[in-house]
Amino acid sequence: MALQQKKALSKTSKVRPSTGNAASTPQSQCLPSEIEVKYKMAECYTMLKQDKDAIAILDGIPSRQRTPKINMMLANLYKKAGQERSSVTSYKEVLRQCPLALDAILGLLSLSVKGAEVASMTMNVIQSIPNLDWLSMWIKAYAFVHTGDNTRAINTICSLEKKSLLRDNVDLLSSLADLYFRAGDNKNSILKFEQAQMLDPYLIKGMDVYGYLLARDGRLEDVENLGCRLFNISDQHAEPWVVSGCHSFYSKRYSRALYLGAKAIQLNSNSVQALLLKGAALRNMGRVQEAIIHFREAIRLAPCRLDCYEGLIDCYLASNSIREAMVMANNVYKTLGANAQTLTLLATVCLEDPVTQEKAKTLLDKALTQRPDYIKAVVKKAELLSREQKYEDGIALLRNALANQSDCVLHRILGDFLVAVSEYQEAMDQYSIALSLDPNDQKSLEGMQKMEKEESPTDATQEEDVDDMEGSGEEGDLEGSDSEAAQWADQEQWFGMQ
């Protein structure tokens, strides 16, 4: 309506006599520009999720008249719509006018534009303004982030964070926490998220990943408190809904987790964590084909995140599509490189096929050589040793992994192995430690309850157990302990476990 009124005023000013022109000039000067009004319309269309209309209204503005904020909005809309070339052009136009627009730099890097090319567009400003020497290293760090080189990205951001100008920078800490998460270092990831949260109590970005990590560690009370705090800040972001969804998922309320994940996606269709949450809930409810759709979308949005591929492969294995799972695991191995995580993922699929057991063993040995403390590799190697009934080797492996870290699942599996070699008292200790770390771990509780039924490890007791074996699954169900490890891996490989 405002634009129509503006047109009407323009027409009337043209037909007025020259004596009236002077009087109309102040009025026309007070009017907002047509470009500004169109920008406001585009904002409204975006809020209404009508992105095509928003693009159409901004496309109608001639290129030379587009301000940096218009180009920025266009770039983001093009990117969301999958029009990468147009998005790159718009981001570059923003940088041409505003060389220090960090969001435009991140936008270009996320669209696979080379870091050197992006840095060249800011070089003149870096050289002319003092105290900007950190910017080139910042661009280099995020170039590593977007190419999936987590190790070099972590090292570069750590060196940046030590600089006085960027010490305790919340954005850098959040990025570092996310990188540790992608690299499978959950302990450091949680520490960095906590540090960022202390510096900025109103921080929302990245809190969905933080909530997931807490839930995975069994800290459900902390997850609930985090969700409540985020809802008090804003319920119009995806993160609070994802955090609450994590709480529901790990409380085995999958229907509620599904609803909360869907709500998060409604608020932000590009939320990878929301897609993974919903996909995991669908999978655990037996709706595997629907889950596959969500994991594929997550991969499209975050092709460098291993947890997205893990969820999809887990679905393939759940539906006995081992061939598809093997193809996907091999693609991930080739695309993201041979690191402990990709080696373990490929080994996980190989374990499902009796023909490829030896290959799985080789892959897991390589993964553990690179990272002896990588929990998922340890779990899978323990599963393999259990199948071969090499319990002493399994116990040595688990003790070595637990020397420098404490994990509920590792303690529980160690308990299972100790039962296998009749070390009942120490097995009870391991189950107790596992439950102290995660009071909701049902399998540790079941192991402890079975142990409590053991009066003593005498021959008489063992004879009674043989009669009861089918019902209780005590010693005769040691292979069940192996499958428990596999089930744990299936349960936990849903969205960003390590």
Distance from C-alpha of 211 to C-alpha of 30, rounded to nearest angstrom: 50
User: Could you give the angle at which helices 84-97 and 68-80 cross, rounded to 10 degrees?
Assistant: 160
Is residue 95 predicted with pLDDT exceeding 80? yes
Least confident of 319-323, 379-383, 422-426, 488-492: 488-492
What value does the mean pLDDT take over residues 271-286? 95
Distance of CA 135 to the CA centre of its chain: 26
Is residue 328 predicted with pLDDT exceeding 50? yes
User: How many residues can be counted in the chain?
Assistant: 498
Give the model's pLDDT for residue 494. 42
Least confident of 247-256, 369-378, 481-490: 481-490
Least confident of 64-68, 249-253, 361-365, 440-444: 440-444
What value does the mean pLDDT take over residues 469-482? 41
Give the model's pLDDT for residue 346. 92
Please indicate whether residue 446 or residue 199 has the higher confidence score (pLDDT): 199
Give the model's pLDDT for residue 496. 40
Is residue 74 predicted with pLDDT exceeding 70? yes
Is residue 246 predicted with pLDDT exceeding 90? yes
Least confident of 71-80, 102-111, 457-466: 457-466
The first and second tokens of residue 400, run together, are 């070595």
**pLDDT band for position 130 (50/70/90)?**
confident
**pLDDT band for position 129 (50/70/90)?**
confident
Return all residues near 317 (Cβ < 8 A) that are at least 6 apart.
325, 349, 352, 490
| pTM for the predicted model, two decimal places | 0.77
Angle at alpha carbon of residue 146, lines to 138 and 210, rounded to 5°: 90
State the DSSP code for 388. T
Is residue 263 predicted with pLDDT exceeding 90? yes
**pLDDT band for position 126 (50/70/90)?**
confident
Distance from C-alpha of 199 to C-alpha of 193, rounded to nearest angstrom: 10
Give the model's pLDDT for residue 435. 86
Are 173 and 158 in contact by the 8 Å Cβ rule? The answer is no
Give the model's pLDDT for residue 441. 79
Distance from C-alpha of 184 to C-alpha of 146, rounded to nearest angstrom: 17
Which residue intervals of 98-148 are DSSP H helices? 102-110, 115-120, 123-128, 134-146
Is residue 202 predicted with pLDDT exceeding 90? yes
How crowded is residue 299: how many other Cβ atoms within 10 Å of its Cβ?
20
What value does the mean pLDDT take over residues 191-212? 95
**pLDDT band for position 460 (50/70/90)?**
very low
**pLDDT band for position 491 (50/70/90)?**
very low
Burial of residue 278 (CB within 10 Å: 0-12, 13-18, 19+) is: buried
How crowded is residue 253: how many other Cβ atoms within 10 Å of its Cβ?
15
Give the model's pLDDT for residue 30. 67
How crowded is residue 120: how many other Cβ atoms within 10 Å of its Cβ?
11
Give the model's pLDDT for residue 147. 86
Per-residue pLDDT of 25-60, as tens digits, reads 555 556 778 888 999 999 999 988 899 999 999 999
Is residue 386 predicted with pLDDT exceeding 80? yes
In this prediction, what percent of the chain has a pLDDT beyond 70?
87
Is residue 7 predicted with pLDDT exceeding 50? yes
* Number of separate helices (H) and strands (E) present in the chain: 30, 0
How crowded is residue 265: how many other Cβ atoms within 10 Å of its Cβ?
20
Distance from C-alpha of 480 to C-alpha of 420, rounded to nearest angstrom: 11
Give the model's pLDDT for residue 276. 96
AA letter at 319: S
Per-residue pLDDT of 16-27, as tens digits, reads 554 444 444 555
Distance from C-alpha of 277 to C-alpha of 261, rounded to nearest angstrom: 6
Burial of residue 250 (CB within 10 Å: 0-12, 13-18, 19+) is: buried
Least confident of 139-143, 160-164, 358-362: 160-164
What value does the mean pLDDT take over residues 67-86? 93
Give the model's pLDDT for residue 497. 37
Is residue 486 predicted with pLDDT exceeding 80? no
Are 174 and 193 in contact by the 8 Å Cβ rule? The answer is yes
**pLDDT band for position 349 (50/70/90)?**
very high
